[in-house]
Amino acid sequence: MNILHAHTPALDNESFNNNLIQDMYRRHPNLRKALEVNNKATNLASIIDYIIDNIGNNITLDQLEMVSGKSKFDICRLFNQVYNITPMRWIWRVRITLAKEIIHISPNWSLTDICYACGFSSLPHFSRCFTKTYKIPPLKYRKSVFSDKERPRTMNNMSFDIIFGKQRHIFSRAVLLDNIQNLCN
C-alpha cells in the first residue's frame, strides 16, 4: 500500500468536490455571489422569455412554475429580489408598456383590440391600468399622440405583422428592453 493512501482518509467524489468548492469560495469571496447572480439571471431569462412569447394570453404562476421548474414561492422571491415587485405586477407593467407602443405604431387599432392583444381581460381594466401608470386615459393619450396627424382609415398590415407576426418576439423584447427602467420602478 502506498504510504500516501495509508494516512489520507478516503474521500468520495462528492466530498472532494464539496471541499474543492468551499476552498474556492474561501479564496475568492466574490465568486459565490457572482454565481448566485448568474443563476438568478438564467432562471429569470427563461421566465421572461415565456412571458413575452405569451403576453397576449392569460399567464398564471402555475404556468411560470412549469416553465421554469421553480416553485411559485421561488419565482415570487426572485422577482422581488430583482424587480422589487411580484411577477404578476411585472407582467401587468409589461402589458401596459406594450399597449403604449402599439398605440404609437398602430393608430387605427381600436383600444379594445389593443387591450385584448396585450392580454388584458377587459377594456375597463386596461383603461384603469393605463391611466394609473401614465396619468392619462388611453383614449386621451392616443388623441394627444396623433393630434397633428390624420389617423389611417384601414388597418396597417405592417403594424399587425410587427406585433403578431413571425417576428413578434423581437418587437416584444425591444419594448421590454427600451422600457426596462420603467418596469423596475
Q: With beta carbons less than 8 A apart as the criterion, state whether 106 and 131 touch.
A: no
Query: Quick check: pTM over 0.75?
Result: no
Give pLDDT, residue 82: 79
Going from the first residue of the chain to its last (185 residues), give the mean pLDDT of each consecutive group of 10, the final group possibly shorter. Answer: 49 62 64 58 77 88 92 90 88 90 85 92 95 94 76 50 59 58 49
Give pLDDT, residue 75: 92
Give pLDDT, residue 155: 46
80, amino acid identity: N
Q: With beta carbons less than 8 A apart as the criterion, state whether 100 and 176 touch.
A: no
d(CA 94, CA 88): 10
Sign of CA dihedral 10, 12, 18, 24: positive
d(CA 106, CA 155): 8
Which of the 8 DSSP states describes residue 149?
A: S
Hey, what's the cell of 80?
A: 422581488
d(CA 70, CA 130): 31
Domains of the chain: 92-184 (1.10.10.60)
Give pLDDT, residue 153: 44
Place of cell 426572485: 78
Q: With beta carbons less than 8 A apart as the criterion, state whether 102 and 109 touch.
A: yes
